[in-house]
Structure 1
Amino acid sequence: MQILICGGAGFIGSAFIRNYLENHNDSQITNLDILTIGSNLENLKEIEQNQNYNFIKDDIRNEIKINELVKNSDVIINFAAESHVDRSIANPKPFIETNILGTYSILESIRKYDKQFIHVSTDEIYGDAYEQHSFDENSQINPNNPYAATKAAADHLVTSYYKTYGINCITTRCTNNFGPHQFPEKLMPKAIIRSIKNLKVPLYGDGSQIRSWIYVYDHVQAIESLILNGKPGHVYNITAYEEITNKTVVEKILDILEKSYDMIEYVEDRPGHDKRYSIDSSKIENQIGWKAKYKFDDAIKQTVNWYLQNQSWWEPLIDEKTLHPQPWTLSWK
């Protein structure tokens, strides 16, 4: 099988590539990535010499290149996205360009060459689950920040290409991922790194925002299961049902590192901050047979230990922008 991964140098895409190549020696993976913020070839250093792996630096909006690669692939999986909410508040334009126009570029190639397409989206497109319920795949889409809005737009594009052109496509919507190789600006690695460096750990508002967490290797296993068993035109939610407040997440990290809760610093909440994300993944569990395997408490310990043991990976990546308590107040040009 020839698999094209778009955005494979990022956190989730690289986890998919490492995991897939470990379990399959009969497939070829091509990784197309422009290497913007959040992408890092160090994430793939252990497999860069693998004869079944090939990296190409280019933009998914390059129609000539994407056509060439899609034509020679069996499956295309799109991880490529601008994904940090705070950055989207500071400057939405790159999110529009990558998340919408980039998806459009891939879809046009899929339409031309009739390939299988898996579009990796997010639970954030559903918006705030402030009531006591969880969103399923038929719930209304209601994004509340520029990042989520651009992902929602991309989802609609994928659906429209299925209904209009009959392309073979699947959309996944996953909850918050965590694990090794996650870029330092995200909540968990930021809290780990700042704690290691004995710096205050910022929390927006009172830290009561609830997120549903999943270990990244559970997520990529779910995507892999859909390559063979997913139904064209369908959307699949992916979650481990680990709903935890941001404050509790940081406290667990401080406990593992044997640090005081006094290191928590409450900062001004970000604009349009959703209170709770919550989705139901009964569909993929019942129809495909996938279920999350990793327990949150075990996986967060593994994650903290990875950052402790891999300072050489994250040290070159941290600066004022990645560790600033309120990134939307900074210029990201």
Structure 2
Amino acid sequence: METVLVTGGAGFIGSHFVKRLLRAQDIGRVTVLDALTYAGHVANLGEAFLDPRLNFVRGNILDASLVDSLVAQHPVVVHFAAESHVDRSLLAGGPFVQTNVLGTQVLADAAARHGARRFVHVSTDEVYGPLAEGSATEDYPLRPSVPYAASKAAGDLIALSYFRTYGLPVCVTRSSNNYGPAQYPEKIIPLFVTKLVTGEKVTLHGQGQHVRNWLHVEDNCQGIELVMRAGVPGEVYNIGGGTDLTNRELTRLLLQVCGADWDAVTYIPDRQANDIRYSMVWAKIADSLGYRPTHDLKEELARTADWYRRHPDRWAPLVRIPEPRAATRPHVTPDTAQEPQHV
């Protein structure tokens, strides 16, 4: 029975992955390590707490002693924990470097020391930077534009260096934009849906011509699980297969599923360093590991919007109550880390 440590497992993608793992019969204990900053909530795990195989530890990946004690007990590590929002990285890049770079190093160091059998580092297509045309393969140069993407690219390189230097069996996954239920309402889909269902206006940067590939979170989790089980150490796997849309095209679909019209849309000046287009080739994971995305965008957008309609208790407090400053800029070191809380 496999024993797995999932960092950031109370976040959006991480919580979906944990639930997926617990549906597998060959998985033993699953331990979630999460600092529960603004985007992480135990409610995201929900019914998973009914499974006795789930163990939850509240703590920060920068806490080296805590990380060491957990990695020693878990031969498989799947690393989701990250600061992940571009706009926040433009305001304060420090937490992104601390968590996404130094935090990755702390985890990889512990995993190498304890001889982990598998270390999966979860990353993003944004590390490739903008592509006016063509698509990035896994060996495409990393050309990130913003502090968030740069910190993820640095984390990728840190993780891969532990394979090349210490033989740690690292795999890196890079997915396109994820969507689905229970995403924190700062990313465009949950942000627009929560505004539209309450009769508020939404804003589009520039003319809405920025192109993104939209991948359902469960398809990404399928790919990550395949890499966890059978990925080749030292390899990078792009996880794509969603739908390419301009932000204007995406907005049109969201207006439809929310029963709104274009009067609800306002155009604002473009965000600084807003990459015009991302695109990846994902043939490698399809050909070598059998990855096949199965979720239809239009159907899943409707289901996602319906989830937000039915669960205002999960998101309304998040958008109405101002965040404490400390919650948006966590800074935890091994000397100052809070006592971990076990559930």
TM-score normalised according to structure 1 size: 0.95
Q: Kindly state the Cα deviation for residue 261 of structure 1 after the two structures are TM-superposed.
A: 1.2
2:147 pairs with 1:158: no
Q: Distance in 2 between matches of 1:290 and 1:278?
A: 18
1:306/1:25 CA distance change after superposition, 3 Å: farther
Shift in alpha-carbon separation, 1:26–1:173, aligned structure 2, 3 A: closer
What SS does the corresponding residue of 1:27 show, helix, strand or coil? Answer: strand
Match of 2:237 in 1: 236
* 1:174 paired to 2:175: yes
What is the 5 A alignment of 1:1-333?
A: 1-24=2-25, 26-115=27-116, 116-131=118-133, 133-319=134-320
Pairwise CA distance, 1:20: 1.6
CA distance in 2, matches of 1:210, 1:320: 32
Please state how far the C-alpha of 1:298 moved relative to its aligned partner.
1.4
* CA distance, structure 2, for counterparts of residue 168 and residue 109 of structure 1: 13
Secondary structure of the residue aligned to 2:139 is coil
Aligned residues: 324
CA contact (8 A) 2:38 2:328 kept: no
Q: Deviations over 1:212-269 (max 9, x none)?
A: 0100000001111112210000000000141101111111111112211110111121
Gaps in structure 1 of 5+ consecutive residues: 323-330
Task: State whether residues 10 and 38 of structure 1, in contact with CA within 8 Å, keep that contact through their aligned partners in structure 2.
Answer: yes
Structure 2 counterpart of 1:130, one-letter code: A
Q: Contact 1:121/1:173 (CA < 8 Å) preserved in 2?
A: yes
- Partner Cα separation in structure 1 for residue 196 and residue 26 of structure 2: 39
- Cα distance 1:307–1:76, how it changes in 2: closer, same or farther (>3 A)? same
TM-score relative to the length of structure 2: 0.92
Q: C-alpha distance in 2, partners of 1:145/1:156?
A: 17
Tell me how large the CA RMSD over aligned residues is.
1.4
CA offset at residue 23 of structure 1?
3.2
Q: Is the 8 Å Cα contact of residues 90 and 332 (structure 1) preserved in structure 2?
A: no
Distance change in 2, residues 1:80/1:332 (3 Å): closer
Do 1:25 and 1:52's aligned partners in 2 also have CA atoms closer than 8 Å?
no
CA distance in 2, matches of 1:207, 1:321: 28
Q: CA deviation at 1:309?
A: 1.1
